[in-house]
Chain A
Amino acid sequence: MDKSIYFIKNEDLLNLVEKLYADYQVFVPFLKDSSSLKKDYCYQRFKPGLSWVLNPYRVTEPLKTFFTYPREELSGYFCPDKRILNVEQKTIVLGVKACDIAAHRIQDFVFIEGVQEDALYRLRRENTLLVSSDCTDYKDVCFCLAMDVLPYPQKLFDLNLSSLNEGYLVEIGSPRAGQILEDNQSYFTPAKDTQIAARKSKRDIFVDKLKNHIIPQNMPRIDKLQDLIRKGFSLDTWSHFMLTCVECGGCNLICDTCHCFLLWDEKGKTNNLRLRQWDACQYANFSRVAGGANPLKNRTQRLRNRFIKKFDFFIDNLGIPACCGCGRCIEVCPGKIDIREVLKDLAKKV
């Protein structure tokens, strides 16, 4: 199939997922909690008969959970090649959003690029097809536009779905996704120009709606952030906002760009284990060294560290901030520390 945009009817998308289930483990979004004011969606492993809905905005958990795990055995210790890479299953994830995809530029940079490539991460990435979709609604905490992320993916997805009249426009973003369409041609019809125009106007309308939500938040512009962080190093912003931090690490762990981990050795029942577990720079011992010295001794330094890493380090090293505006850290924080408010406070004082 040489064109890149097709139309699929609602029921055919459901049929396609049932069919793909034969060859892939498929994750679909489901409505976790309909009672809360704004409904939360999560990923769930698909089984035939399961009813699922495409999420209007991002799901609760970060996409990184498919590529690194909170705690996992990593290495065959001394024995070469002992790790069984081929147990990694081919996977399809539906319900991915533009912010998740933007965040994965950071994860890919860390684990695939750089001095050496993490083979396990790469394998999981290669085994996993990302089926994204346009956002049709937002959460209060969303601020993607302020991070230059539009609410519909434009690249780095495998398939993107845009809902339109009893079905979806399906955009092909990779050759392997093209193959899926090829193999299931009966479900798809080439998109008409009118449909593509309709997608554009739907997108424009939603971006306007989102602007009405985000512009009044009055966040500093993205091209000012690095300067703010640098000039704001000694401001009281950090010591003020840290006061309610309980050092749970939630903001790091839930963040789709945060990638820090700790290698951990342990004695297992029969052999020694090397584990990798997610780490968080908000934990007190994150940078402690022998003898007890710790360059990030207090919460003020650690809160600042999180922002330096996101808005100075990554802008220097990759040209983009390590924040996609998903707002997960805002939702998770028991101390009600809001990344937007921290940046606004800096902008006020610098």
Chain B
Amino acid sequence: MTKDIYRSIEATIEDIIEESPTIKTFVLRTHEPFSFKAGQFIELTLPGVGEAPFTPSSDPSVKDRMDVTIMKAGKITGLLHGIAKNTCVGIRGPYGLGYPLDKFKGKDILIVGGGVGLAPLRSFLYALFSQMDNFNKVVLRYGARSSQDIIYKKLLPDWSKTDKMNLVLTVDIGDPSWQGNVGLVTTILKDLPVNLDNCVSIVCGPPIMMKFVTLKLLDLGFNPRDIFLSMEKNMSCGLGKCGHCRIGSFYICKDGPVFTYEQLSKLHDIWD
């Protein structure tokens, strides 16, 4: 029997973690074996309703569980935010190429996240942590709209205790409870403790944030081939067949979703 590439496998939602007023992490246990590489994505199905693409946010080396961190943004995500533990959903994938970790060996790694964009970056961080000897240092810069919107609040302190890890947060809008930086994420990209000649930057967040972070990084002297961006477009199949996610002569689903700025810089309207 040939493989049905459009079939979802069943997964049970074992736990739901409230990360922020609009973001929840869903812990999934798949009923059939399923694994992914950091940066690859899945299509998550609400049975009989529809699908949407998400990037797992958990440690790729954990094989029996998978976390997906989801922001409420429309129909499917809205319904997902309303469901209870032990509900069954579907998943297919993994799709895309994921982060080229081997290429990052021996380098300083700058990670810049915005909002729910920290989700795929968390999975990437776990992948780095599992082979930290291979990297010089890991510098994480994360921006959220307000202190309430910061996700993975319980994990962040642990990460900053990790050897070789340097972490700075900022919020767009301050409030009395927040003691830290206030300002867009680009404002905490100054005086980075990295060696610019031997550093790659991994960026994920809303298009407008990625645009300004990219401009800032270029300004700082980053080479376009060392800036890795997570691109988003309307997707349906995830397999390079349905034609929805074209950008230039690439499909984001199969040639990405992570691209270097070098690959994209000559294309039109990449941030739309």
Which of B46-54, B145-153, B154-162, B220-228 is found at the contact surface with chain A? Answer: B46-54
CB distance from B103 to the nearest CB of A (A): 21
Residues of B contacting A: mostly: loop
Nearest CB in chain B: distance from A333 CB, A: 20
B183 at the interface (CB under 8 A from A): no
Residue of A nearest to B243 (CB): A260
Q: For the complex, what is the distance from the CA of A130 to the CA of B251, rounded to whole Å? A: 31
| B3, A119: Cβ atoms closer than 8 Å | yes
Across the interface, do B240 and A279 meet the contact criterion of CB distance under 8 Å? no
Set of chain A residues within 8 Å of B73, measured between Cβ atoms: 290-291
Shortest Cβ gap from B9 to chain A (Å)? 7
Q: Mark A69-104, 1 if CB is under 8 A from B, else 0.
A: 000001111101101010000000000000000000
Could you mark each residue 5-33 of chain B with 1 if its beta carbon is under 8 Å from any beta carbon of chain A, else 0? 11111100000000000000000000000
- Residues A85 and B232 in contact, CB atoms below 8 Å apart: no
Q: B233 contacts the other chain (Cβ, under 8 Å)? A: yes
Q: How large is the interface on A (under 10, 10 to 19, 20 to 34, 35 or more residues)?
A: 35 or more
Chain A residues within 8 Å of B52, by CB: 290
B2 and A261 within 8 A (CB): no
In chain B between 151 and 206, which residues have their CB closer than 8 angstroms to a CB of chain A? none
| 1/0 contact string of B236-264 vs chain A (CB within 8 Å) | 11011111101011000010000000000
Which residues of the partner chain A approach B51 to less than 8 Å between Cβ atoms? 263, 265
Total A-B contacts with CB atoms under 8 angstroms apart? 121
Find out whether the CB atom of B48 lies under 8 angstroms from the CB atom of A276. no
Shortest CB distance A181–B (Å): 30
Query: In whole angstroms, how far apart are the Cα atoms of A281 and B1 in the complex?
Result: 34
- Convert B59-92 into 0s and 1s, putting 1 for each residue whose CB lies closer than 8 angstroms to a CB of A: 0000000000000011001000000000000100
Q: Cβ of B9 and Cβ of A118 under 8 Å apart?
A: no
Chain A 98-123, CB-CB to B under 8 Å as 1, else 0, gives 00000000000011001111111011
Output the nearest chain B residue to A79 by Cβ-Cβ distance. Answer: B7
Tell whether, in the assembled complex, residue B272 and residue A293 are in contact, meaning their CB atoms are under 8 Å apart.
yes
Give which listed residue, B5, B8, B243, B268, contacts A279 with CB less than 8 A: B243
Residue of chain B at shortest CB distance from A263: B236
B4 at the interface (CB under 8 A from A): yes
Supposing A77-B90, A115-B254, A291-B74 touch, asked if A259 and B243 sit within 8 A by C-beta, the answer is: yes
**Interface pairs (16), CB distance under 8 Å:** A75-B4, A75-B6, A77-B90, A110-B241, A115-B239, A116-B3, A122-B2, A261-B237, A261-B242, A262-B244, A265-B51, A279-B244, A287-B244, A290-B74, A291-B74, A317-B249
Q: Chain B interface (Cβ within 8 Å of chain A)?
A: 1-10, 45-52, 73-74, 77, 90, 207, 232-234, 236-237, 239-244, 246, 248-249, 254, 268-269, 272
17 additional contacts (CB under 8 A) given A83-B4, A259-B241, A268-B48: A75-B4, A75-B6, A77-B7, A78-B10, A114-B241, A116-B3, A119-B5, A260-B243, A261-B243, A263-B51, A265-B47, A265-B49, A273-B48, A276-B6, A287-B234, A305-B246, A313-B246
